[in-house]
Structure 1
Amino acid sequence: MATIKVKQIKSRIGAPKDQKSTLLALGLHRISQVVEVEDTPSCRGMIRKVHHLVSVID
């Protein structure tokens, strides 16, 4: 299955609790950390929810 690389670019300090837990569900714990997640509709939805805190890397 295809994968997407996601990088956290901003701090989660001050973000709502649901967005903090979404970052943890994606596997992101600190700024500049890169994780590789499967390209599924649920993962895309999580990325869309925290789009202002992460970026998608090619």
Structure 2
Amino acid sequence: MAKIKIKLVRSNIGKIESQKRTVEALGLKKIGQIVEKEDTPQIRGMIEKVKHMVEVVE
């Protein structure tokens, strides 16, 4: 499977609890941190849920 890089660009302070948990489940803790995940529909759905806080690095 292909890999996808995800970068946290906005803080999760003040966001709703489910969005905080989604960011944590993606493995992101600090702003600017980049994680590499498998490109699956589940990961794409998580990115879509917090798309205002993360960006996909190509």
User: Would the TM-score normalized by the shorter structure come out above 0.5?
Assistant: yes
- Indicate whether 1:48 and 2:48 are aligned: yes
Q: What is the match of residue 5 of structure 1?
A: 5
In structure 2, the gaps of 5 or more residues are none
Unaligned runs of at least 5 residues, structure 1? none
Q: Which amino acid aligns with 2:31?
A: I
Q: How high is the sequence identity, in percent, across the aligned residues? A: 55
Deviations 1:5-55 (A, max 9, x none): 000000000010000000011000010000001100000000000000000
Q: TM-score, normalised by structure 1?
A: 0.98
CA distance, structure 2, for counterparts of residue 32 and residue 22 of structure 1: 17
Give the letter aligned to residue 4 of structure 1: I
- Compute the TM-score of the two structures, normalised by the length of structure 2: 0.98
For these two proteins, the number of residue pairs brought into alignment is 58
- What value does the CA root-mean-square deviation take over the aligned residues? 0.4
